[in-house]
Structure 1
Amino acid sequence: MSGVTHSTTSSADVVLPCLDEAAALPWVLRRIPAGWRAVVVDNGSTDGSADVARSLGATVVHEPRRGFGAACHAGLLAATADFVCFCDCDASLDPGLLPGLLAAVRDGTADLVLGRRRPRGAGAWPSHARLGNLALAHMVRRRTGLPLRDLGPLRVARREALLELGLADRRSGYPLEMVVRAAEAGWRVRETDIPYLPRTGASKVTGTWRGTWHAVRDMRAVLREGAAR
């Protein structure tokens, strides 16, 4: 069984942005690859998520500023391993798949690997969220030339290289900004299929039309800013 380690010399650090995910954390943390470190970034949970994560062996970082990007970047700053992975903390994505994504970065054939979500099970990917993602992926293809079909949150890159990108968005645009900045820097970006499962609990971002609209708005702002530079 995979487990969580506190070692600062782990093969990779897995950043898990977390807002009220106590119910999903046991499933997620049990699937962290052996020898890897889980960095759970608590973004203001009120359900005891931080205590659950700590009891299961994860490193817990507290980020008081609300926002998906704020949590992701706090985790990146807290990471110490050469490779950093990002994964949602709601049990919709299996972190046990990360070694397969990491392999291409480790062997030098890719600089950033994204998991392309392939829904499994009813309700795994609501239609409004999927449509929003398709629209954004189309804009990214036009903006960067990268043949991406998803802006999946399961991803892997080298820590120092990520820090050098100077990511500034602290809301929902953070994942898209990472891809745009990587493309501008000449990174080799690869996409690989992964299963996308029904999440545990209610989504804070794309579970509603309103949440999806806010995410699309944030990401479109990132694309506009990038085009203006």
Structure 2
Amino acid sequence: MTTPQVDIVLPCLNEAAALPWVLSRIPAGYRAIVVDNGSTDDSADVARAHGALVVAETRRGFGAAAHAGLLAATAPVVAFCDADSSMDPADLPPMVALLDSGAADLVLGRRRPTIRGAWPVHARLANRALAILMRRATGIPLHDLGPMRVARRQQLLGFDLRDRRSGYPLEMVLRAASAGLRVVEVDAPYSPRVGRSKVTGTLRGTVIAVKDMSRLLRELPR
């Protein structure tokens, strides 16, 4: 088997309906790592049938699933993307190109809704408030803590990320900023997800995410 150029980590909880489209959009030379975070549908079987490497992570939480995927990755570059079809893996190569050119060390996909209602209002408002706090904490003009991101595997492992819930993406940005790395944000189309959201698509999930991220920001050295 040819060594992949990029491993795409796809945290997954009951995404059997979305996975066929998502996995059909994996760019050539990339490998999909679907991390099954306790699905009760046939997500794992669907992922395998569509050529993905499947990793099981029994500890619930976005960070737990994302980190399990990172540990399973072997490619020099690792990307993260939701498995719900809200974001298109085919949009990743230009982000990877920024790493290859030396223009960035961590590339974030800023969600740009493709249609009205793709991004629930409560989730958008929470993201906006957290983005303001993130800019203050890092000095980097960022606008989104979106799920699509790209970085070098060794740098990500060196961050020693500890959060295993919704704060994982924010912790990644904070560690990169404190290390003096170049964090760059690019636009990424954002579409309505397939199926029911478990995190920011629900009010309860949004509240949990805000609490997790607010805790990380409070713990920053003053």
TM-score (normalised: structure 1)? 0.95
The aligned counterpart of 2:134 is 140
**CA offset digits 1:178-220 (Å, max 9, x no partner):** 0001000001000001110000001000112111011010011
User: What do residues 72-100 of structure 1 show as CA deviations (whole Å, max 9, x unaligned)?
Assistant: 00000000000000000000000001001
From 102, 106, 109, the equivalent of 1:112 is: 106
* 1:46 maps to which of 40, 45, 48: 40
Say if 1:122 and 1:198, in contact at 8 Å, map to a contact too.
no
Residue of structure 1 equivalent to 2:14: 20
Within 2, Cα distance between the matches of 1:131 and 1:105?
A: 30
The gaps in structure 2 that reach 5 residues or longer are none
The percentage of counterpart residues that share the same residue type is 68
- In structure 1, the gaps of 5 or more residues are 1-6
1:164 paired with 2:164, answer: no
Give the paired residue count: 222
Rounded Cα–Cα distance in structure 2 between residues aligned with 1:81 and 1:38:
11
Deviation string for 1:100-156 (max 9, x for gaps)? 100011111100000110111232100000001001100000011010011111010
Give 1:202's match in structure 2, choosing from 176, 196, 206: 196
Equivalent of 2:54 in 50, 60, 72: 60
The DSSP-based 3-state class of the residue aligned with 1:226 is coil
Deviation at residue 8 of structure 1 after TM alignment? 6.2
Task: Check if 1:214 corresponds to 2:211.
Answer: no
Q: 1:129 aligns with which of 123, 132, 138?
A: 123
- In structure 2, the partner of 1:102 is 96
State the one-letter code of the partner of 2:17: A
User: Is 1:77 the equivalent of 2:71?
Assistant: yes
Note if contact 1:167-1:178 (Cα within 8 Å) is conserved in structure 2: yes
Runs of 4+ in 1 over 2 A off after TM superposition: none
> Which amino acid in the other structure matches residue 41 of structure 1?
V
Whether 1:155 aligns to 2:172 is no
